[in-house]
Amino acid sequence: MELKVIENATCTFCGCVCDDIELHADDMRIHQAKKACILGKSWFLNHTAEKKYPDALIDGQPASLDDAIEVAANYLYDADMPLVYGMSNTTCEAQKECVAMADLLGALLDSHTSL
Ligand code: SF4
């Protein structure tokens, strides 16, 4: 099996945004992530193009994305002290939307790096 080599890939896992990662991949998964730290390697190597999970869960049960968004919106709307948290595995565009949502809600915004 011949792997495609992608030079200077960016890791968005922890926020350091290392941009010199060398990825070796086929159409389904990344097999090597050279120059990535142990967290970055784990992140790259454990995400595949396979569909392993439902689009969304509500109370642990598979749900449609639309239903899950509605439930999440209701939780956030009803919250006294909303927290918008995470964003480590998301694109810049998605993070921008999270910031806008936190502003709209008057929420606290935090990433996993505070751990
Ligand atoms: S997880 Fe590691 S490789 Fe990825 S951005 Fe952070 S320090 Fe860089």
13 lines ligand 1 (CB under 6 A): yes
40, 61: one domain? no
How far from the centroid of its chain's Cα atoms is residue 5's Cα?
Answer: 23
> What integer pLDDT is reported at residue 92 of this predicted model?
86
Number of compact structural domains in the chain: 2
Q: Is residue 8 part of a domain?
A: yes
Q: Is residue 18 part of a domain?
A: yes
41, 60: one domain? no
Residue 54 has pLDDT above 90, yes or no: yes
Does 90 or 60 have the greater pLDDT score?
60
63, 110: one domain? yes
> What integer pLDDT is reported at residue 1 of this predicted model?
76
110, 75: one domain? yes
Mean pLDDT over 16-41 rounds to: 95
Beta bridge partners of 61: 58
66, 34: one domain? no
Mean pLDDT over 32-56 rounds to: 92
Of how many residues is the chain composed?
115
73 lines ligand 1 (CB under 6 A): no
Q: Is residue 109 part of a domain?
A: yes
41, 61: one domain? no
Name the token pair of 71: 């439930």
**What are the pLDDT digits (tens) for 62-106?**
999 999 999 999 999 999 999 999 887 788 899 999 999 999 999
Q: Is residue 51 part of a domain?
A: no
Q: Is residue 64 part of a domain?
A: yes
Q: Is residue 50 part of a domain?
A: no
When pLDDT is cut at 50, 70 and 90, the band that residue 9 belongs to is: very high
89 lines ligand 1 (CB under 6 A): no
Q: What share of the chain in percent tops pLDDT 90? A: 77
For residue 34, what are the domain limits?
4-45
Mean pLDDT over 18-35 rounds to: 96
